[in-house]
């Protein structure tokens, strides 16, 4: 009796654990059931001739703004941008209103996501001085990817700047915890250095030393306590070396923005639309981040997708808010770096799928292999397209990459065997489900 599948992705160059090979991917019950030359029937056949089939891309840092700031973004529009950009799963941050700092707030997000988010998803729980005792229970709840701690200024009470509070968080958590690593005391000390209307002063206000000092403190403490930590959006060359010296406990994220843009040019060109925290820095630091990529020190690519409206971004510095969209542009921007020879396709896959699985212990995801979820990012590595504001799904309606000439483009997004995006259109609505993690099964 011949095999039958729900879906066959046929004739693409498939990125398997053994490397890139021409073949088919057979899907049954939402899982990858076979890889190879498949002479079989299927309920649906996707012709991937001329395309490359990658493991589903995972963006491990997004801010979808719901609840409380839906005029900038919400879970539906943010996840729509994700799947249009070839992203199959996202980890969403806790600095919403109210903040995601207790079980009720987490459940509210999961309820809001059900039937509305188009990609799979998990949510961070934010650490505060008031919920440290609850973190061991909160980090084990279904749908939680981990604990997020802001060591530099953030929303509401999501700030733990003191050593005593930081140590208490590290002692409480058992899973790998994520950190925004900037030293709050130094940030406060340097705020008067902001020049009104001059965005080139942003990396002076939030200088490299603020990040270096904070990461040194955090990793010294993590090493002493034997706790696993993940440093989000690393921006300095010095931090790369610090993290390399603490690999037993530390992992790190890089952002496409910091790898692609450099100061001061980007601030002169984009003004407030280039403002994010930690800042985009000069080419010396950018070179340090690329070194982290090529030497294997960087573990994941996350976008820190954090939209604001045009009106908010147009305010004169420092009244303008920090943050920019990114989830929809991750794949074409980074595939352009692949096309230009700065990044191998193998390293791209490691940074966007395998790395996320390795760091957070994702169950069933992060690998194009039999038995895993059929999460696929299907791309045309040769397609040349221009990224445009008007094509962005985000409520904010803009991207810092407007006008960027991309080589490499997402043609389809498959989430657990369902083709949710094809040729720039979302064709399956609300298919996303919460991610599962090995430590909390």
**207 noted as active-site residue:** no
> Taking each helix axis from N to C terminus, what angle separates 237-244 and 208-225, rounded to the nearest 10 degrees?
10
- Candidates 65, 58, 157; CA nearest to 112 is 65
Query: For 238, phi and psi rounded to 5 degrees?
Result: -65, -35
Where would I find the beta strands (DSSP E) of 322-431?
Answer: 376-386, 405-415, 418-422, 425-426
The answer to whether the beta carbons of residues 131 and 102 sit under 8 Å apart is yes
Instruction: Return d(Cα 378, Cα 19) in angstroms, integer.
Output: 16
**Which residue among 13, 120, 304, 380 is the active-site one?**
304
Calculate Rg over the CA atoms of the chain. Answer: 21
Phi-psi region of 30 (alpha: psi -120 to 50; beta: other; left: phi over 0): left
**∠ at Cα 82 (76, 88), nearest 5°?**
110
CA proximity to 249, closest of 214, 215, 293, 213: 215
For the chain, how far is it from start to end, CA to CA, in angstroms?
36
Q: Which residues pair with 55 in a beta bridge?
A: 376
DSSP 37: -
Catalytic residue positions?
304
């Amino acid at each position: 009796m011949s095999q039958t599948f729900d879906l066959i992705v046929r004739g693409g160059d498939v990125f398997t654990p053994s490397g890139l090979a021409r073949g088919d991917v057979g899907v049954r019950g939402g899982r990858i059931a076979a890889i190879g030359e498949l002479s079989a029937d299927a309920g649906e056949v996707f012709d991937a001739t001329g395309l490359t089939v990658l493991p589903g891309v995972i963006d491990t840092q997004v801010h979808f703004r719901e609840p409380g700031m839906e005029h900038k973004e919400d879970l539906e529009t943010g996840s729509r941008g994700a799947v249009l950009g070839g992203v199959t799963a996202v980890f969403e941050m806790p600095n919403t209103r109210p903040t995601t700092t207790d079980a009720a707030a987490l459940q509210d997000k999961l309820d809001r996501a059900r039937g509305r988010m188009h990609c799979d998803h998990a949510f961070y729980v934010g650490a505060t001085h008031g919920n440290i005792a609850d973190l061991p229970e909160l980090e084990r709840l279904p749908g939680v990817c981990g604990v997020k701690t802001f060591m530099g200024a953030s929303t509401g009470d999501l700030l733990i700047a003191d050593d005593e509070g930081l140590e208490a968080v590290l002692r409480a958590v058992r899973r790998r915890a994520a950190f925004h690593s900037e030293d709050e005391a130094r940030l406060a000390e340097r705020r008067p250095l902001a020049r009104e209307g001059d965005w080139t002063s942003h990396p002076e206000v939030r200088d490299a030393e603020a990040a270096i000092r904070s990461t040194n403190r955090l990793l010294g403490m993590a090493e002493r306590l034997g706790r696993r930590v993940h440093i989000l959006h690393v921006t300095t060359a010095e931090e790369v070396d610090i993290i390399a010296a603490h690999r037993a406990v530390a992992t790190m994220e890089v952002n496409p923005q910091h790898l692609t843009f450099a100061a001061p040019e980007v601030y002169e060109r984009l003004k407030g639309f280039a403002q994010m925290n930690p800042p985009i820095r000069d080419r010396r630091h950018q070179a340090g981040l690329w070194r982290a990529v090529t030497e294997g020190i960087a573990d994941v690519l996350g976008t820190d997708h954090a939209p604001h409206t045009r009106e908010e971004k147009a305010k004169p510095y420092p009244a303008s808010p920090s943050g920019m969209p990114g989830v929809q542009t991750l794949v074409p921007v980074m595939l352009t770096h692949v096309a230009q020879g700065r990044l191998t396709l193998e390293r791209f896959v490691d940074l966007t799928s395998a790395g996320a699985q390795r760091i957070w212990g994702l169950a069933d995801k992060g690998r194009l292999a039999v038995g895993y979820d059929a999460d696929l990012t299907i791309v045309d590595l040769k397609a040349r397209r221009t990224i445009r504001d008007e094509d962005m799904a985000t409520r904010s309606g803009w991207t810092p990459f407007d006008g960027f000439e991309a080589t490499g483009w997402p043609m389809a997004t498959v989430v657990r065997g369902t083709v949710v995006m094809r040729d720039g259109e979302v064709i399956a609505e609300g298919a996303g489900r919460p991610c599962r993690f090995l430590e909390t099964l």
